[in-house]
């Protein structure tokens, strides 16, 4: 899993520089105690500075520059005109798309100051969404009252936020106005660091989460970022005395800092949110942190919508604390369709497997049934000359977990098609296909493996031939073609008893092709009373 | 002076019966005093009807003018403050007052910052205020109100308008 930090324009570039500096500072601290882990952390993040002005990029390493629209702008910038910046992006769209395709998570950073950031922010997010990337846009609304920009540009920046709302793309919006405090004036550099530090530390927490998607269900992340509304990154540092738990006061302070980030637009109650705790302390401290955050989230709101996804980074180097990505509750949304890419270009494979003690254990509160259990043994199986005696996985489930962790031995096994020795049961395949993380790793298996898995599934599983509604017509499941199955799964109301079977067929069609669906055996479905939607709602009230 | 002009029709109306009575008596010797009195009363009744209609029309027009000014003023303020609203803060970002002078067809919209904000003001945001006034007028699209030069009055920014009843769209006939 890799993350692209992409800035747009001069203002966004300045923030990215600052975030990069803070992130590098963290990595430097980590390197002193754990070089391999620091390497992993750094290799997970790619930074690119997109701009229309060649001179703005002059101080950056060549590989980090992304100059767009050279014909449109003559390399001289967007002339403070967002529309020119939009044309420049259109000119270089292929380059930008190629860059985005290499990454699963794209963090966009821009400001609404002049032309390039304001003009490209939304189109960039749209491109990322079109390619089914998990996009996390960070946009700074400048202050006109404090004369950072004139009112016209401020209004344009407002429109950018509205575009995100209209397209149902969640947005982290920083309000520069809030950086000015007449009662407690601070130098601009201090304010910027306060604004940017949570982003740098929040990204670190996000990397932990994305590192091991078998521990946090990707569908949770897809839900977290689905829909419209704002997001807010928070960080609270906890530095306890050596070998002791942090005091309540330290916890209170950290939770306050994590929750109460004043610079962000965030007006609704918190909904699905991601909380990552890192530090060597007791589980009592973890519970206190979670409890205080929940208290903060529910106070004055009724709190019924707060749905935290907890992750825990074990034995992570300092700085410790709590990072969170809070999402506004804006209703219930369909999870995003995300292309979870598992290649980790540039990550030295050996460094990932060197020290099992540094692997990150993640804990997720919701949908635990979907995520495979953390094995008792070291999460990453060591590789190297002594690998010949590595125990081969006993079941497909265990093997899939290892593949999902990018375990080199498992990956090699998945690639070369050596199927022998692992029992594959249809019911197990069916259960695995019900999880998003498994569906995401199916393409990593060789053709032979995929064939065996499918054969086990179609041989071991029979599908009840449910009657489903296609428009006004009632049809048997076996009579439907793949596009019809897809349409019904996406749009139609289905009885609970039929939905898992239909979703299985859709998943198989998507992963193995339309023809694979026709290989299933159907048996008559148990007779059911035909009920209306309304009647099914009343079902629960009947004794 | 304007008040005096408004009193003249009332005074004239009250003199009508006396004038009609004396005129009828002096012009026609065959009309008796009783008949002249009746004619004077009839004249008074007619004058009252006309005066009533005039006064009614005046108040109706005045009410319509005030309503139009109020509606325009409220729309203007709402559009002016819309970009300044903070989604997580309930309080309004600006203070506003409407001053309507219907007889002079004049409306003054007074705006001032509130809750520690700095906008609008003309000391360091004159250009932004001018931009915002034009922006709002383009949104509201009510050509009956013609904006005059914006000025400051204490902490208020005053945006004056002249109300032109019956003004047609540019290019209209």
Give domain limits for chain B: 2-62, 65-163
Sort out which chain A residues have CB atoms less than 8 A from B117's CB and list them: 145
Instruction: Verify that A393 and A410 share a domain, yes or no.
Output: yes
Gap between the Cα atoms of A85 and A79, Å rounded: 8
Cα–Cα distances (Å) from A497 to A385, A536, B38, in that order, read: 51, 12, 96
Length of chain B equals: 173
Whether the per-residue pLDDT at A172 is higher than 60: the answer is yes
Instruction: Verify that A42 and A165 share a domain, yes or no.
Output: yes
Instruction: Verify that A381 and A518 share a domain, yes or no.
Output: no
The pLDDT value recorded for residue A144 is 94
Instruction: Verify that A528 and A386 share a domain, yes or no.
Output: no
Instruction: Verify that A401 and A534 share a domain, yes or no.
Output: no
What are the DSSP calls for B85-151, one per residue?
A: --TT--S-SEEEEEEEEGGGTEEEEEEEE-TT---S-SSS-HHHHHHHHHHHHHHH--TTEEE---E
Residues A333-353, mean pLDDT to the nearest whole number = 55
- Residue in A closest to B128 by C-alpha: A151
- A180: which 2 tokens? 């000015």
Gap between the Cα atoms of B102 and B67, Å rounded: 10
Of A424, A457, A490, which marks where a domain is finished?
A457
The pLDDT value recorded for residue A106 is 93
Of A122, A152, A180, which marks where a domain is finished?
A180
Instruction: Verify that A382 and A530 share a domain, yes or no.
Output: no
Query: What percentage of residues in chain A have a pLDDT greater than 70?
Result: 82
Question: What is the biggest distance separating any 2 CA atoms in chain A, rounded to whole angstroms?
Answer: 75
Whether the per-residue pLDDT at A285 is higher than 90: the answer is yes
Whether the per-residue pLDDT at A346 is higher than 50: the answer is no
Instruction: Verify that A409 and A530 share a domain, yes or no.
Output: no
Of A423, A457, A491, which marks where a domain is finished?
A457
CB contact under 8 A, B128 and A265: no
pLDDT higher for A511 or A169? A169
Whether the per-residue pLDDT at A348 is higher than 70: the answer is no
Residues 173-192 of A with CB under 8 A from B: 175, 182
The pLDDT value recorded for residue A314 is 65
Instruction: Verify that A440 and A388 share a domain, yes or no.
Output: yes
The model's pTM is 0.67
SS3 content of chain B, % helix, strand, coil (to 5): 55, 15, 25
pLDDT higher for A428 or B133? B133
Question: How confident is residue A379, by pLDDT bands cut at 50, 70 and 90?
Answer: very low
Q: Which residue from A145, A147, A265 is facing B117, i.e. has the nearest CB?
A: A145
A17-26, A102-111, A117-126, B65-74 — which is least confidently predicted?
A17-26
The pLDDT value recorded for residue A409 is 77
Question: How confident is residue B95, by pLDDT bands cut at 50, 70 and 90?
Answer: very high
Residue numbers of the domain that contains A504:
462-541
pLDDT higher for A137 or B10? A137
Gap between the Cα atoms of A117 and A8, Å rounded: 5
Instruction: Verify that A83 and A161 share a domain, yes or no.
Output: yes
Instruction: Verify that A146 and A107 share a domain, yes or no.
Output: yes
Q: Is residue A46 part of a domain?
A: yes
* Domain count across chain A: 3
Output the domain CATH number for residue A125. Answer: 3.40.50.1440
Instruction: Verify that A433 and A481 share a domain, yes or no.
Output: no
Sort out which chain A residues have CB atoms less than 8 A from B132's CB and list them: 151
Q: Is residue A335 part of a domain?
A: no
The pLDDT value recorded for residue A104 is 84
């Amino acid at each position: 899993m890799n993350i692209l930090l992409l800035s747009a324009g001069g203002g966004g570039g300045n923030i990215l520089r600052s975030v990069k500096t803070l992130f590098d500072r963290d990595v430097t601290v980590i390197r002193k105690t754990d070089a391999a882990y620091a390497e992993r952390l750094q290799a997970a993040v790619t930074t690119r500075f997109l701009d229309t002005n060649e001179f703005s990029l002059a101080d950056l390493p060549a590989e980090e520059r992304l100059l767009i629209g050279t014909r449109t702008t003559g390399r001289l910038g967007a002339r403070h005109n967002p529309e020119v910046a939009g044309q420049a992006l259109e000119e270089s769209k292929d380059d930008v798309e190629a860059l985005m395709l290499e990454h699963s998570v794209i963090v966009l950073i821009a400001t609404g100051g002049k032309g390039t950031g304001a003009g490209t922010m939304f189109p960039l997010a749209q491109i990322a969404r079109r390619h089914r990337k998990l996009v996390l846009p960070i946009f700074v609304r400048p202050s006109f009252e404090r004369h950072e920009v004139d009112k016209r540009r401020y209004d344009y920046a407002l429109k950018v936020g509205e575009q995100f709302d209209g397209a149902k793309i969640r947005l982290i919006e920083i309000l520069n106005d809030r950086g000015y405090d007449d009662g407690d004036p601070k130098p601009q550099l201090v304010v910027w660091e306060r604004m940017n530090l949570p982003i740098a530390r929040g990204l670190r927490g996000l990397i932990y989460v994305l590192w091991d998607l078998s521990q946090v269900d990707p569908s949770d992340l897809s839900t977290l970022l689905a829909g419209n509304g704002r997001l807010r990154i928070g960080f609270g540092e906890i530095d306890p005395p050596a070998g002791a738990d942090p005091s309540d006061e330290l916890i209170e302070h950290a939770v306050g800092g994590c929750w109460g980030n004043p610079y962000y637009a965030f007006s609704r109650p918190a909904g699905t949110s991601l909380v990552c705790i890192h530090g060597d302390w007791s589980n009592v401290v973890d519970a206190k942190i979670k409890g205080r955050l929940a208290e903060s989230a529910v106070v004055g709101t009724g709190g019924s919508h707060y749905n935290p996804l907890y992750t825990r980074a074990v034995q992570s180097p300092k700085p410790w604390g709590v990072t969170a990505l809070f999402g506004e509750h804006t209703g219930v949304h369909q999870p995003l369709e995300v292309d979870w890419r598992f290649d980790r270009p540039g990550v030295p494979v050996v460094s990932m497997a060197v020290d099992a003690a540094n692997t990150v254990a993640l804990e997720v509160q919701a949908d635990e049934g979907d995520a495979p259990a953390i094995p008792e043994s070291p999460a990453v199986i060591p590789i190297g000359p002594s690998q010949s005696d590595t125990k081969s996985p006993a079941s497909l489930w265990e093997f899939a977990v290892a593949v999902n962790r990018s375990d080199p031995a498992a990956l090699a096994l998945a690639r070369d098609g050596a199927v022998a020795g692992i029992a594959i049961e249809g019911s197990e395949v069916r259960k695995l296909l019900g999880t998003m993380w498994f569906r995401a790793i199916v393409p990593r298996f060789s053709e032979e493996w995929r064939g065996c898995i499918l054969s086990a599934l179609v041989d071991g599983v029979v599908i009840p031939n449910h009657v489903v509604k296609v428009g006004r017509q009632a049809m048997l499941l076996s009579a439907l073609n793949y596009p019809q199955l897809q349409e019904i799964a996406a749009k139609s109301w289905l009885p609970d008893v039929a939905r898992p079977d239909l979703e299985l067929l859709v998943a198989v069609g998507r992963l193995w092709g339309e023809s694979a669906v026709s290989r299933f055996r159907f048996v008559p479905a148990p007779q059911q009373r035909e009920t209306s939607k309304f009647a099914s709602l009343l079902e629960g009230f009947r004794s | 002076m304007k008040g005096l002009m408004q009193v003249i029709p009332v005074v004239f109306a009250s003199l009508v019966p006396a004038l009609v009575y004396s005129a009828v008596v002096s012009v026609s010797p065959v009309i008796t005093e009783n008949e002249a009195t009746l004619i004077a009363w009839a004249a008074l009744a007619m004058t009252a009807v006309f005066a009533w209609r005039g006064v009614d029309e005046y108040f109706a027009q005045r009410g319509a003018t005030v309503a139009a000014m109020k509606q325009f003023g409220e729309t203007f303020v709402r559009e002016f403050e819309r970009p300044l609203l903070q989604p997580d803060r309930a309080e309004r970002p600006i203070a506003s007052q409407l001053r309507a002078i219907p007889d002079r067809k004049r409306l003054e919209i007074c705006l001032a910052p509130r809750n520690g904000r700095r906008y609008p003001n003309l000391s360091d945001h004159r250009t932004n205020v001018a931009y915002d006034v034009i922006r709002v007028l383009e949104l509201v699209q009510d050509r009956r109100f013609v904006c005059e030069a914006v000025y400051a009055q204490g902490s208020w920014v005053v945006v004056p308008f002249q109300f032109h009843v019956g003004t047609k769209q540019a290019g209209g006939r």
